[in-house]
Amino acid sequence: MVQIAWRELVSRRRATIGLILGVGVVLLVFFAIEGLWAGVARTLSVQDTEALVVLPKDSIGLSGSLMPMSLKTTLRGIGAEVVAPQLLTTRQIRSGEPVLLRGIALDNGSVGLARIVAFEMTAGSPLERGDRDKIMLGAEVARSKGLAPGDPFRVLGKTFIVKGIFATGGISDSEVWLDLGEAQRLVRSQGFASMFSVIGPPGLGERIAKRLDVDVVKEKEVWESLTGAIASLDGVMKVASVIVAAAAVLGVMNTIFTVVHQRRREIAILRSMGFGRSSVLTYVLSQSLLIALGGFVIALAAAALLLRLMRMEAVGMTITPVLTEAGILRGLGLTLVIGVLAGLYPALRAARLNLAQTLRGE
Amino acid sequence: MNPFRFWHIAWNDLRYGRWRALLMIAGVGVVVAVFFTLSSIAGGLGSVVSATPASERNLVLIDKGATDYCQGQIPEAIVETLRRYPGVARVVPMLHTALRWKGQMVLIRAIEPEAYGEMAGLRIVEGKLSQRANSVIAGEQLARQNGWQVGDTLEIGGQELKLAGIFQAGGTLNSELWTSLEDGQRLLSRGDSYSAIVIQATPDADVRTLKNRLAGSTVLARETDIGTEPEVYETMNRSFGQVTRVMNAISALALIAIAFGVYNVVGMTVAEKSHEIAVLKSIGLSANQVIGIFVQEGLIQAGLGFAVGLAAGVAALAYLNATSAVSFLSVPLTLSLTPQTALVGGALTATLTLASAWLAARRVAAMPVAEVLRGA
């Protein structure tokens, strides 16, 4: 019966192509929204390291928080072997062109840096102690601004030289790293840091949290908590993308009804020759499922192109939409739902045809 | 030639195939409703900052290059300098940041509540303005959302703060928690600096002149950016410009599904009605007139679908607004359907319908009348 269904679709190729494209558009909307939020989640992530971050109590995100530098001594006193203050802030390099600045203590050079923030150099070399006039650019910043090692980069009235370009696969790809002292001077936050990265013996985090009125977490958790603040937006958009699938169901159902109506005599003949109701159900459902799966393939191919065009910048972060395996599987699930819902009712109608009346042509 | 001369034929044909027409109308309605919902979310996101009440007569100082109120440290000394400028009626320094409260984000504004409240049109609806240390007042929406009552104690940032009052103010302010400057500086470890300063011009002062004068000051120009409230909010909103454009593009993409729906329905109708089409052509109707009938069928269905979608979209937005279901960084988005969005949606629907219905119906022109009538 699946083969007959296939032939039916081929014989009506115009309508079939129209339907496949219609379902494809609907699934493309779904993939665009899935990809957008998967991209946001990937942007708001960092690679895990052995370091913990110390933040003001109940603070959200890293930029905007301020803690006195004197805390460094206190943290050492509690048992931290490495205490690396960092200053995070967002500043515009030109009107409407913000970048994320991360001032990092370079006391232990690039080796010390790698212990607190995971990164890989893709060009040039990392910052070392004493690099006050140099910066490291995240891969996304370098790409969007077209910068390479050796190029000048002007921010808040000072011109730096790009020393290296690094990649992390997360939020830091949208960051510009510079010496902590320079960052503090540029944003007039001398004596303050946004957070302290600490490394020490097991139980250090608990000891710090017990002694001081602060939060001690993994940096990864801080960024991930921000996705919670936009969860409702994500949820409503995803619901809207599923609702729009109802339009695909109605569109495909419309055509399948017509097919069933036009082929009712042939269906009745098949039934009278001994084909069961389940065969008729298979014949009709196969058509709607084949159309839906065709739309899925088209949408997947189109999404691969569309998501590249959807790369965007917001508040200094570069968001690159991505299609995850989970997103593709959810899309496939939605495709099957569209196929089944669109074909089920016409299939049941076809299976319940009154054979005698239909064959008499009534 | 009147393109609507045979509209009654189109209408009667739709009535004859009413189930197909109803499915089509419902399909278009769903797509249009989703288009309006997504466009409104994009619009709400694009104006999330400018939803804060803003006056052209208020100037705002933010830290040099800062993109939001949460960043920056403007020295306290600048406040006194500003107060000495002619044309300045009021100088209101503030701290603004977000803190976590029971897993959700709460926006905190440390301010002189009386001074800023008067500028922002604040009205206390319950309790009173906080006068004592370690007390806060909450925006009505935020209080309602969390079930806070006057007298409740909130533990935020490791400190216990008593809720002294609940206020009503415009836009996003309704979702904020306000405390005094002193409490805020302690809560946020800001020492004696501010994240923004609002300056109200005297009624007789020219705001542009005042702005230029302030921008001309070496100290202020070196350390801060100055603009009117709407200008500063607009700059902040630009950070979301690309996101808004992408979301609008996704919502417009959904409308393309209408074109395929109309193409299929009109195509099926034309295929089924070949005999009737041949009769119409044989009694003297031109191919274009017959095509016009089917294009009108497409337009009627899409038009009715658009009306259904518009109504459903408005209802969905009303529901989302009433329940504050869509928020961005804890600020409930105000979702509204602007006339421009409705016009764009209508124009796109009409254009796509016209194009797809015409494409599907144009095979009428090539239909051989004699053969069809012979039943060949």
Indicate if the pLDDT at residue B160 is higher than 80.
Answer: yes
What does pLDDT average to over chain B? 85
Identify which of A59, A92, A248 has the shortest CB distance to residue B67: A92
**Which of the four pLDDT bands, split at 50, 70 and 90, describes residue B49?**
low
User: Given this model, what pLDDT does residue A61 score?
Assistant: 65
Identify which of B19, B31, B260 has the shortest CB distance to residue A244: B31
What does pLDDT average to over chain A? 87
Q: What is the mean pLDDT of residues A194-216?
A: 90
State how far the Cα of B255 lies from the Cα of B250, in Å rounded to an integer. 9
CB within 8 Å: B68 and A58: no
**Number of other residues whose CB lies within 10 A of the CB of residue B359:** 16
User: Given this model, what pLDDT does residue B362 score?
Assistant: 86
Find the residue in B nearest to A20 (Cα): B260
Q: What is the mean pLDDT of residues B156-174?
A: 86
Question: What angle in degrees, to the nearest 10, is found between the helix axes of A231-262 and B18-46?
Answer: 160
**Which of the four pLDDT bands, split at 50, 70 and 90, describes residue A121?**
very high
The helix (run of H) or strand (run of E) holding residue B182 is helix B181-187
Cβ neighbours of residue A96 under 8 Å, at least 6 residues apart? B235, B238, B239, B241
Reported as a single tens digit per residue, the pLDDT across A183-199 is 999 888 888 898 999 99
- Locus of tokens 């925006």: B139
**Which of the four pLDDT bands, split at 50, 70 and 90, describes residue A10?**
confident
Q: For residue A129, count CB atoms less than 10 angstroms from its CB and return exposed for 0-12, middle for 13-18, buried for 19 or more.
A: middle
Reported as a single tens digit per residue, the pLDDT across B277-305 is 888 888 888 888 888 889 999 999 999 99
pTM equals: 0.81
Cα–Cα distances in angstroms (integers) from residue A133 to residues A102, A154, A180, A191, B255, in the given order: 14, 11, 11, 20, 51
User: Given this model, what pLDDT does residue B301 score?
Assistant: 92
Put simply, whether A96 touches B (Cβ < 8 Å) is yes
Interface test mutation site (partner A, options B78, B188, B245, B246, max chain A beta carbons within 10 A): B246
**Which of the four pLDDT bands, split at 50, 70 and 90, describes residue B131?**
low
Indicate if the pLDDT at residue A320 is higher than 80.
Answer: yes
Identify which of A157, A253, A314 has the shortest CB distance to residue B243: A314
Under 8 Å between Cβ of B277 and B372: yes
Sign of CA dihedral A210, A214, A216, A217: positive
**Which of the four pLDDT bands, split at 50, 70 and 90, describes residue B317?**
very high
A244 contact residues in B (CB cutoff 8 A): 30-31, 34, 254, 257
Reported as a single tens digit per residue, the pLDDT across B28-41 is 999 999 999 999 98
Higher pLDDT, A167 or B174: A167
- Please give the share of chain B, as a percent, with pLDDT higher than 90: 24
Under 8 Å between Cβ of B129 and B113: yes
Find the residue in A nearest to B98 (Cα): A60
Of A166-170, B20-24, B47-51, B156-160, minimum mean pLDDT range: B47-51
Chains A & B: contacts with CB separation below 8 Å: 207
A22 contact residues in B (CB cutoff 8 A): 257, 260-261, 264
User: Given this model, what pLDDT does residue A27 score?
Assistant: 92
* SS3 assignment, position B289: helix
Q: What is the DSSP string of A304-325?
A: HHHHHHT-EEETTEEE-----H
ipTM of the complex, rounded to two decimals: 0.79
Indicate if the pLDDT at residue B349 is higher than 90.
Answer: yes
